[in-house]
């Protein structure tokens, strides 16, 4: 359905080139070859797209809930029918293995299904006779034109966290996907059009910082949702808020997994490998720090090393692939630089993925980096403090449960955390004491279902609202309270045309 050789914007239900003066290459990470050129919007292009969205919002907000839900159900069916097409585009431009890409689409579809129930989510409250002949009711109404600025690591799922809910609530939505892998966004736009969404309700602006800044400061944009690194999340939040916009900005993470001495070590090792190296570690919920509460560290590390040796690292479309390449050569080299920094800082590099090679079928130029495993990592090291966003797992040894919890709570981030144990009392205490927005008990990647909301604490979130679920509905709507008084016809008599009661 989508020709990915040229990737333009999406305006009023069709592709649009904009001024077309600037483009950026899109790579196949498995080969290193340029496969497309994405257009980069100018500020004037953003003006045009925002004007379209504002005009569309005026009509779409008046659409009945039944009309909106019918479009959403049609979009859901089309997304399901074309989920493999979307997944293939993701693998071709991001590099993650095909099964991961399919899973990403599936998790995004859950939010579409949640949005299909928007009539229930938008029900207000009513209080009768708060005073004599006075009633009060509340409603939630759409905010206006909302923008989403999304990262490269989930080119379908993260946008799907945002725009189904925003559109279901009656807003118009402008998506600014990552310029590294924007192909999936255009296919989803085509599916919206086929589902019957009016032109302009969903637009796409491709671009880089120039487009982001234009959206953040544009007077026609009412709110912005963002997912990305913490420094950029802080910038987005401060810039958008200063411009008077509603902003939710989800930042980076340094997700910990604590393993207590009573844990099932085989299950913990399986979880550490899948959560640490899945999607080449390019997940905001990836486990990057394994906190082993002694005396389990040595035994657990041995099990992890055994599992790493069995991983198949190759092109994500190859059957049986466990891990694909990183998204760009620059990012691969950045991650490899952190591996060397860890060695220089004194950590013990047990598994060095920098030596991995994938030579079959012209993959010699691919952006591959194998799993890396460090032991004896301390909280003073850069590999512990910084979000690396690659296949690097650091083992920190803790002396007790209290030591492990203190270590996690002192970290600047508070996105996700997991505990592996057989002790229900320890798990209950952990749930209460840990300072993070998403907690897993014997679950390494505790991403909430669509009817809950996703988001972290501390430097992992700027703003006070998480994405999708009830908080997503709250973000994309504004509350209004209406107080009414109507004269009682019994007491007013025939002057209003009502019968007189005696």
Active-site residue numbers?
284
- Helix or strand or coil: residue 354? helix
CA distance 179 to 151: 9
CA distance 406 to 434: 9
CA distance 391 to 97: 14
- Helix or strand or coil: residue 259? strand
Q: Which tokens sit at 349?
A: 């590099």
Three-class DSSP labels, 98-162: HHHHHHHHHHHHHHHHHHCCHHHHCCCCEEEEEECCEEEEEEEEECCEEEEECCCCCCCHHHHHH
Give DSSP secondary structure letters for 57-74: HHHHTTS-HHHHHHHHHH
Give DSSP secondary structure letters for 280-298: GG--TT-EEEEEEETTSHH
Q: Which tokens sit at 299?
A: 């035994």
CA distances from 388 to 286, 336, 358, 415 (A): 10, 10, 22, 15
- Helix or strand or coil: residue 9? strand
CA distance 83 to 306: 34
What is the end-to-end Cα distance of the chain in Å, rounded? Answer: 72
The total number of residues written for the chain in this structure: 502
CA distance 192 to 71: 8
* Owner of token pair 């671009």: 207
Cα dihedral 24, 26, 29, 33 sign = negative
CA distance 390 to 233: 19
CA distance 383 to 161: 30
Indicate the Cα dihedral angle 302, 290, 316, 415, nearest 10°.
Answer: 170
Number of Cβ within a 10 Å radius of residue 207: 28
Adjacent-strand bridge partners of 73? none
CA distances from 470 to 125, 248, 431 (A): 16, 14, 21
- Helix or strand or coil: residue 27? strand
- Helix or strand or coil: residue 427? helix
Alpha-helical segments (H) within 310-393 = 329-345, 382-385
């Amino acid at each position: 359905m989508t020709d990915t050789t040229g990737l333009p914007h999406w305006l009023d239900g069709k592709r649009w080139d904009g001024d077309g003066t600037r483009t950026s290459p899109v790579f196949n990470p498995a080969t290193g070859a340029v496969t497309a050129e994405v257009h980069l919007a100018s500020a004037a292009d953003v003006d045009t797209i925002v004007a379209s969205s504002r005009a569309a919002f005026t009509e779409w907000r008046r659409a009945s809930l039944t009309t909106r839900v019918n479009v959403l159900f049609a979009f859901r069916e089309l997304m399901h029918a074309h989920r493999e097409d979307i997944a293939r585009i993701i693998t071709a431009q991001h590099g993650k293995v095909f099964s991961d890409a399919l899973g990403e689409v599936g998790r995004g579809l859950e939010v579409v299904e949640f949005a299909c129930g928007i009539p229930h989510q938008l029900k207000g409250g009513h209080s009768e006779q708060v005073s004599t002949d006075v009633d009060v009711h509340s409603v939630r109404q759409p905010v206006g034109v909302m923008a989403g600025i999304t990262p490269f690591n989930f080119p379908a799922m993260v946008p799907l966290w945002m725009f189904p809910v925003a559109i279901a609530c009656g807003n118009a939505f402008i998506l600014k996907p990552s310029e590294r892998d924007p192909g999936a966004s255009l296919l989803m736009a085509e599916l919206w059009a086929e589902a019957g969404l009016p032109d302009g309700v969903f637009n796409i602006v491709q671009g880089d910082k120039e487009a982001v800044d234009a959206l953040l400061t544009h007077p026609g944009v009412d709110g912005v949702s963002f997912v990305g690194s913490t420094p950029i999340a802080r910038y987005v939040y401060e810039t958008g808020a200063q411009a008077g916009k509603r902003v939710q900005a989800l930042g980076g993470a340094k997700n910990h997994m604590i393993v207590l001495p009573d844990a099932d070590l085989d299950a913990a090792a399986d979880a550490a490998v899948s959560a640490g190296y899945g999607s080449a570690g390019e997940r905001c919920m990836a486990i990057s720090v394994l906190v082993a509460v002694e005396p389990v560290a040595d035994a657990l590390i041995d099990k992890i090393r055994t599992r790493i040796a069995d991983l198949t690292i190759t092109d994500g479309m190859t059957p049986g692939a466990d891990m694909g390449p990183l998204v760009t050569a620059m990012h691969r080299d950045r991650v490899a630089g952190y591996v060397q920094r860890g060695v220089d800082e004194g950590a013990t590099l047990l598994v060095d993925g920098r030596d991995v090679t994938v030579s079959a079928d012209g993959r010699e130029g691919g952006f591959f980096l194998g799993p890396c495993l460090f032991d004896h990592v301390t909280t003073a090291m850069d590999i512990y403090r910084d979000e690396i966003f690659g296949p690097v797992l650091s083992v920190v040894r803790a002396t007790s449960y209290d030591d492990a919890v203190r270590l996690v709570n002192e970290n600047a981030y508070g996105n996700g955390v997991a505990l592996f144990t057989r002790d229900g009392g320890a798990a209950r205490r952990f749930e209460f004491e840990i300072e993070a927005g998403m907690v897993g008990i014997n679950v390494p990647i505790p991403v909430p279902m669509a009817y809950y909301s996703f988001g972290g604490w501390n430097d992992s979130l700027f703003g006070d609202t998480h994405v999708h679920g009830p908080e997503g509905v709250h973000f994309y709507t504004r509350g209004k309270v209406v107080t009414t008084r109507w004269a009682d016809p019994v007491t007013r008599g025939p002057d209003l045309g009502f019968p007189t009661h005696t």
